[in-house]
Amino acid sequence: CRAGELGGLMLDEVRLYDRFPHLVIRDNKFRSTKKRYQRKVPLLDQLIELGFPAFVERARAQGQERLFQDWTAPGGAKHDGSAAWSNSAVIRSFNQTLIPKALDGLLVEGARRAVTFHGFRGAFKTLLMMNKYGIQPNYVHEVVGHEKSNLDTRYIGEIPLAETYAAVRSCRYEGLVIPLPG
């Protein structure tokens, strides 16, 4: 997801117990979506294994409206796009501290050092299209919210969640270590 899609994600848009666990990305009172495009993003098995359901349930038990209630964006609650959420303190901190720390010693000589939160979208898209998974480009575009070609839009339209979930749910970030609060 884009930073704005996550920053404004409401708890009722997190569908953990649906037949196909997913996030609903759509315009809401906290943010709009790119080109007003609504989509369903399947949750990866790995995210479930890392404890995402417990995180969501804690937020619900606290009566939060948004999943990341403490993530605030400059300029108030309603935003016309992701720019305000992307410039929030949490994203700036993520870009300036967590990423360099996580990648320290891992980047090869000459590798691009300006890694950002948004770069994870590109990494996820690359992961989905790797030979190991070989997911069809239309499925990838549906999940990440990129436009399909005009021909695909006309003849395919929206790809059902049952198909995208089956295609992407078992994709894994090998070697990714996310420190859990302890």
In terms of pLDDT, which residue wins out, 168 or 62?
62
Could you give the percent of the chain with pLDDT greater than 90?
25
19 pLDDT more than 70 = yes
More confident residue, 102 or 163: 163
| Structure confidence at residue 87 (pLDDT) | 63
Select the highest-mean-pLDDT range: 24-38, 81-95, 109-123.
Answer: 24-38
Band (182; pLDDT cuts 50, 70, 90): very low
Confidence at residue 152, expressed as pLDDT on a 0 to 100 scale: 53
pLDDT number for residue 86? 67
Q: How many CB atoms lie within 10 A of CB 76?
A: 9
Residue 138 binned pLDDT confidence (cut-offs 50, 70, 90): confident
Per-residue confidence (pLDDT) for residue 10, from 0 to 100? 95
Percent of the chain with pLDDT over 70: 63
pLDDT band at 77 (very low <50, low <70, confident <90, very high): very low
Task: Mention every residue, 6+ apart, whose C-beta is less than 8 A from residue 142.
Answer: 39, 148, 158, 159, 164
Contacts with 121 (C-beta within 8 Å, 6 or more apart), sequence order: 1, 2, 144
pLDDT band at 18, cuts 50/70/90? Answer: very high
